[in-house]
Structure 1
Amino acid sequence: MEKEPIIALDFPTWKEAEQFLVPFQNEQLYVKVGMELYLQNGPFIIEQLKKMNHRIFLDLKLHDIPNTVGQAMKGLAALDVDIINVHAAGGVEMMKKARAGLDAGAKGGKRPILLAVTQLTSTSEAAMHADQLISVPLQESVLHYAKKAKEAGCDGVVCSVLEAASIREACGEDFYKVTPGIRLKDGNADDQQRIADPAEARKIGSTMIVVGRPITKAADPVAAYHQVKALWGGQA
């Protein structure tokens, strides 16, 4: 499995993202393009990142009726990104349609890894109860979504590090556990609720980690990236 941290390019414009990437020009990165960057700039962003030979997680969290998500995925597959995702709350049929759309639109038969978002790492158990009227414990909700994602043909889920071990036990070692909410020990939690540092993520069983502000907002982003990479790879 990958041992490169995925950097969240949470910028509003390509100019800002490009400026951030300049010091990394001699490295091939794994980057995440979310709604902020993609919806304001479109496929141009993906084209530019691919020219730089970076691998791409297109984080759009699609959630709509099954047919709409299936058709959207068929079109997005042509972008030839490495990972893409949906919201598990959309249901099994929607996730099945997402998988079918990717299969139909994939270039050369190679489709992106399909992930399903369980509960956002900014969501606390209290907020889940109050806002979503889900009465079970948050861990149980995440595990339920993971099982449904596997049933639907997804390759894995987006979850917090805190749920990675139980998902591995229920869904298998090869089922991806991609974990945002990664923070360094001396850093701020920001708006995240369920967090861990890269070393904890490695020990608990994350497959891949997503790191944003601890790198993008660091005084020296390159140094911060290599610190995260060393912790994630077990070299620090």
Structure 2
Amino acid sequence: MRERNLIVALDFATKKEVDAFLSQFPKEKLFIKIGMELFYREGPEFVYHLKQLGHEIFLDLKLHDIPTTVKRAMKQLASLEIDLVNVHALGGVNMMAAAKEGLEAGTPMGKEMPTCIAVTQLTSTTPEMLSKEMDIHTPLQEHVVHLCQQVNSATLDGVVCSALEVPMIQEYFSDSFITVTPGIRRLQDATDDQARVVTPAKARELGSQAIVVGRGITRADQPKVAYEEYLREWRQ
């Protein structure tokens, strides 16, 4: 996965909505994220459809199960020829290693294996949630670094994290350890249900290698204009 990607989260429920959104980008080959809602409704055929249009795909399913189940699931997902896929780091080292084994086994001959990253803590997670609801009393950023160590031990490619945690992660890991950061909003956009939010420019300053933007683009009055503004602020 090349650096400085802007990944557009397709926060839609149906293929019809996605096609209407993408029709506003007739000449653009986007890096797009398909989440649970869309994948569970439209299924693998829709992934094939988007790949045929030339878009890069981040399949965001956050797999978290016993190692054997995750391995078998990843073998199936690899056959879709997606570009990026993820698991949840809280599943443990063995589960994450099994995910990579599944991807290796399922990648078609002659094709590149999908990049595999792990979710650390969601950008909706607050320190209070971590302590009171999850009963984890390590400070949030330190806990994220701990999870990154598990991800690195499993030889995955990197993590999904808040941009606020990227500088600390970079202290411990090489530049090849990918940081994909959601929770990105321009100053004029609503934060919605995100807690740890930064602007595209701040994410760049903090060292993020890729940002994920959903509603700031997909719900904008002029999505293409919003996309170009996010891209300009991210890459300037």
Q: Per the shorter chain, which TM-score range? A: over 0.9
How far residue 36 of structure 1 moved from its aligned partner, in angstroms, is: 0.7
Structure 2: distance between partners of 1:6 and 1:109? 22
Q: Is the 8 A contact 2:6 2:212 kept in 1?
A: yes
For residue 44 of structure 2, what is the aligned residue in structure 1? 43
Structure 2: distance between partners of 1:45 and 1:150? 32
How far residue 40 of structure 1 moved from its aligned partner, in angstroms, is: 1.0
Structure 2: distance between partners of 1:3 and 1:226? 14
For residue 92 of structure 1, what is the aligned residue in structure 2? 93
Q: Is the 8 A contact 2:5 2:209 kept in 1?
A: no
SS of aligned partner of 2:5: coil
For residue 147 of structure 1, what is the aligned residue in structure 2? 149
Aligned-residue CA RMSD in angstroms?
0.8
Q: Is the 8 A contact 1:4 1:29 kept in 2?
A: no
For residue 136 of structure 2, what is the aligned residue in structure 1? 134
Structure 2: distance between partners of 1:220 and 1:155? 34
TM-score (norm 1): 0.97
For residue 215 of structure 1, what is the aligned residue in structure 2? 217
Matched letter for residue 42 of structure 1: G
Matches within 5 A, 1:167-206: 167-206=169-208
SS of aligned partner of 2:27: coil
1:125-177 residue CA offsets vs partner (Å, 9 max, x unmatched): 10111121101111011111111101101100000000011111211111000
TM-score (norm 2): 0.97
- Structure 2 unaligned segments of length 5 or more: list them: none
Residues matched between the structures, number: 234
Q: Is the 8 A contact 1:34 1:59 kept in 2?
A: yes
Matched letter for residue 106 of structure 1: T
Q: Is the 8 A contact 1:116 1:157 kept in 2?
A: yes
SS of aligned partner of 1:6: strand
- Structure 1 unaligned segments of length 5 or more: list them: none
For residue 31 of structure 1, what is the aligned residue in structure 2? 32
How far residue 109 of structure 1 moved from its aligned partner, in angstroms, is: 4.9
Percentage of identical aligned residues: 49
1:177-208 residue CA offsets vs partner (Å, 9 max, x unmatched): 00000000111110000010111111111010
SS of aligned partner of 2:211: strand
Matched letter for residue 123 of structure 2: T
